Amino acid sequence: MRRPMKSLKVNLDKKTVSSYDIRIGAGITDRIVLLIAKTFKASHYVVVTDSNVKRLHAPALIDAMTQAGLNVSLIDFPAGESQKTLDTAVEVVGKLLALGADRSTVLIALGGGVVGDLTGFVASVYMRSIPYVQVPTTLVGQVDSAVGGKTAVDLAQGKNLVGAFYQPKAVYADVKYLETLPDAEFRNGLAEIIKYGIIEDTALFGKLEARIDDVGGKDTAFLTGVVEACLRIKKSIVEIDEHEQGLRRILNYGHTLGHALEAVSGYRLSHGEGVALGMIAAARLSEKMHYLPAQETRRIEALVERAGLPVRIPADFAAPEILARLKMDKKKKDGAVRFVLLKKIGMPFVNGGLPEEMITDVIEGMKA
């Protein structure tokens, strides 16, 4: 049976060839392969994935590509944020060289945000750039990180400090992949979905308040609609501000403090958990600055908690260390850390700097 797919397009600068299609559906692996074969003709395709996805989803994709007559190879690396490093990128480059990959080779990022970020980064630098396609298998990847061309690796000093804006040639989101996602990893994606409701779509936020259990229960039809809603928001923002010079900064809501908390935890705290705490902190900062009404802060905290995400910062996270990590944030300007704050749900803005005492007060007030 031919399964339906939703189709979106990210329309970037018409002087470039960087615009690309997004396809969304359930159980569409065979159609993804046909689209890759038809749209990106190459003598060699390399699927890049992690050790978890290699076991769960890579065999079906590799088999389908082989049956379609495509020359396909597989590269994998250990799963986890700790692997998103320059060392791993160099290892992947070495494997590409051993496979004889050249500038006409197409990389296929099969996995979550780590796989997508690292594969995109490798694609941006290998032989001065080769094409890649995103096939996200996690909720974070499908609603957020696979679209927009942000590629990067982490350093000991912080997340995503080495990278490039390098757009994929296409994004194919099959929500059936989410059925194998562990609950904790699924909740990571819920944080990004809630973010979109907070910064742009009050109707989505209200829908999540009413039906968060349907998302958490992985209701396919509802989930497909939510993925599409988030990607429509993401694509519309990227189209206006591809390189994060203005509007796109609102997508960092919750991420400024969230990334610092992840780093302080040694990445034991997941991305979604960090973003969840960062969103609550940003709401509380907005309230302290007399922008956001207290009842809207409470709505945000309540939805985050109902999604099964943390609302308290671990007691052993020292505020001075968190502040030190904040000062390494790549989005700072003239030495000032830039927070995305709220005037109300659906109305974000970028603040040019906040007093350290206020940030510390919010951190301490959120301690478990």
Contact yes or no for 43/140 (Cβ under 8 A)? no
Whether 264 and 157 map to the same domain: the answer is no
Q: Which of 292, 287, 364 is nearest to 322 (CA)?
A: 364
Catalytic annotation on 243?
no
Q: In terms of domains, do 167 and 189 share one?
A: no
149 lies in the same domain as 208? no
Q: Are the C-beta atoms of 224 and 24 separated by less than 8 Å? A: yes
Query: Residue 159: what pLDDT?
Result: 86
Cα–Cα dist 290/35, whole Å:
50
- Which CATH number belongs to the domain containing residue 120 in this structure? 3.40.50.1970
**Is 31 noted as a catalytic residue in this protein?**
no
Q: DSSP character for 145?
A: I
Say what the pLDDT of residue 18 is: 77
Task: Verify that 56 and 167 share a domain, yes or no.
Answer: yes
Same domain, 348 and 215: yes
176 & 192 share domain? no
**Catalytic residue selected from 185, 242, 244, 287:** 244
Domain that holds residue 75: 5-180
Residue where a domain stops, chosen among 180, 208, 239: 180
Q: Within this chain, do residues 162 and 201 fall inside the same structural domain, yes or no?
A: no
Residue 330: the pLDDT is: 64
Q: Active-site residue 255, yes or no?
A: yes
- Predicted confidence at residue 259, as pLDDT, reads 94
State how many domains the chain has.
2
CATH code assigned at 265? 1.20.1090.10
Q: What is the per-residue pLDDT for 327?
A: 87
Q: Which tokens is 44 given?
A: 């060699």
How is residue 91 written in tokens? Answer: 């290892």
Residues 206 and 172 in one domain: no
Domain boundary among 132, 164, 180: 180
234 annotated active-site: yes
Query: Given 138, 161, 180, which residue is the final one in a domain?
Result: 180
pLDDT of residue 16: 59
Q: What is the pLDDT along the chain (368 residues), one digit of tens a residue?
A: 667 788 899 988 754 567 999 999 999 999 999 999 999 999 999 999 999 999 999 999 999 999 999 999 999 999 999 999 999 999 999 999 999 999 999 999 999 999 999 999 999 999 999 999 999 999 999 999 999 999 999 998 888 999 999 999 999 999 999 999 999 999 999 999 999 999 999 999 999 999 998 887 888 898 999 999 999 999 999 999 998 889 999 999 999 999 999 999 998 999 999 999 999 999 999 999 999 999 999 999 999 999 999 999 999 999 999 999 998 876 666 667 889 999 999 999 998 789 999 999 999 999 98
Residue 364 is a catalytic residue: no
- Is residue 344 among the annotated active site residues? no
246-264-110-108 Cα dihedral, nearest 10 degrees: 60
Specify whether 315 is located in the same domain as 199: yes
> Can you name the residues that pair with 77 across neighbouring β-strands?
50
Q: Based on the domain organization, do 166 and 298 belong to the same domain?
A: no
How far apart (Å, rounded) are the C-alpha atoms in residues 9 and 215? 25
3-state secondary structure of 146: coil
Strand partners, 333: 336
Question: Does residue 192 share a domain with residue 174?
Answer: no
Q: Which residue type does 323 have?
A: L
Establish whether 290 is a catalytic residue: no
Are 151 and 188 contained in the same domain?
Answer: no
- Set 207, 249, 271, 338: catalytic member: 271
CA angle 83, 89, 91 (to 5 degrees): 95
State how far the Cα of 336 lies from the Cα of 352, in Å rounded to an integer.
7
